[in-house]
């Protein structure tokens, strides 16, 4: 082998060694204490320490990061469940903060909230009044039909009259059902505004949005049926 070839080969070996050293340095130095209490060091993750944390050191000996233990299948399932729970908690907190901020934007003061409640109830109460007036009208329309039906006591009532009475009763029942639904809607609206008002008073007093926990379900609060409509 010529001298030039030998020199070239030596240079390549030096370069290869330098490359390996640089690669090891970029990965860091792995170190841990195994089950027997021995401190092990390597330029890659240490198989004997997969059940415990390994420190990854920089070239100057400072800690770059901590490599956690390798999890078993059961441990991994439990870990993933914990992570999902944490993610759900974070999402719930973000949603609570968004909801509280939106409440403050929509209702900057108690008078604004009170006005919104009145407006929400007005439409429903007007619908109740319309249904009640319709019931009065149907009752008036039924009177002559009942008077005519008195002539047929003990006899077969004409089909047309029976149909008119049945139609009147069906229309009246429909209005009664509608009124019941509308009254239930009044209670639902009041319950929702009651829940909001409790939260808003805390926020107006300086509570940080998202720190007050979940809002109660309006359906779970005290029955508002006794409240005047």
pLDDT (tens digit, 0 to 9) for every residue of the chain, 229 residues total?
555 444 444 434 434 443 343 444 467 899 999 888 999 999 999 988 888 899 999 988 899 999 988 877 788 888 889 989 999 999 999 999 999 999 999 999 999 999 999 999 998 999 999 999 999 999 999 999 999 999 888 889 999 999 999 999 999 999 999 999 999 999 999 999 999 999 999 999 999 999 888 888 887 764 544 444 4
Angle in degrees, CA 158, 162, 163, rounded to 5? 115
The predicted pLDDT at position 35 comes to: 85
With beta carbons less than 8 A apart as the criterion, state whether 190 and 117 touch: yes
Which sequence spans correspond to the domains of the chain? 109-226
Listed in order, strand segments (DSSP E) in the chain are 29-33, 39-42, 54-57, 63-67
**Residue 143: alpha-carbon gap to chain centroid:** 55
Flag whether the pTM goes above 0.75.
no
* d(C-alpha 198, C-alpha 226), whole Å: 19
The predicted pLDDT at position 16 comes to: 41
* d(C-alpha 120, C-alpha 133), whole Å: 21
The predicted pLDDT at position 26 comes to: 61
Q: Give the residue from 157, 131, 133 showing the smallest Cα distance to 145.
A: 157
The predicted pLDDT at position 221 comes to: 61
């Amino acid at each position: 082998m010529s001298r030039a070839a030998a020199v070239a080969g030596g240079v390549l070996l030096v370069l290869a060694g330098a490359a390996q050293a640089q690669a090891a340095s970029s990965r860091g130095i792995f170190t841990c204490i195994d089950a027997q209490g021995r401190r092990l060091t390597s330029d890659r993750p240490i198989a004997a320490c997969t059940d415990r944390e390994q420190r990854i050191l920089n070239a100057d000996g400072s800690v770059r990061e901590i490599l956690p233990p390798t999890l078993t299948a059961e441990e991994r399932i439990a870990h993933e469940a914990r992570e999902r729970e944490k993610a759900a908690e974070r999402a719930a907190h973000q949603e609570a903060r968004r909801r509280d901020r939106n409440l403050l934007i929509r209702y900057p003061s108690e008078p604004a909230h009170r006005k919104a409640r009145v407006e929400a109830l007005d439409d429903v109460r007007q619908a109740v009044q319309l249904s009640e007036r319709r019931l009065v009208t149907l009752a008036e329309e039924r009177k002559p039909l009942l008077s005519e039906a008195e002539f047929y006591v003990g006899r077969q009532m004409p089909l047309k009259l029976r149909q008119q009475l049945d139609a009147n009763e069906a229309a009246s029942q429909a209005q009664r059902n509608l009124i019941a639904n509308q009254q239930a809607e009044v209670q639902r609206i009041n319950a929702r505004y009651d829940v909001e008002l409790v939260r808003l008073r805390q926020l107006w007093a300086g509570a940080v949005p998202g720190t007050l926990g979940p809002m109660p379900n309006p359906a779970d609060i005290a029955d508002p049926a006794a409240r005047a409509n």
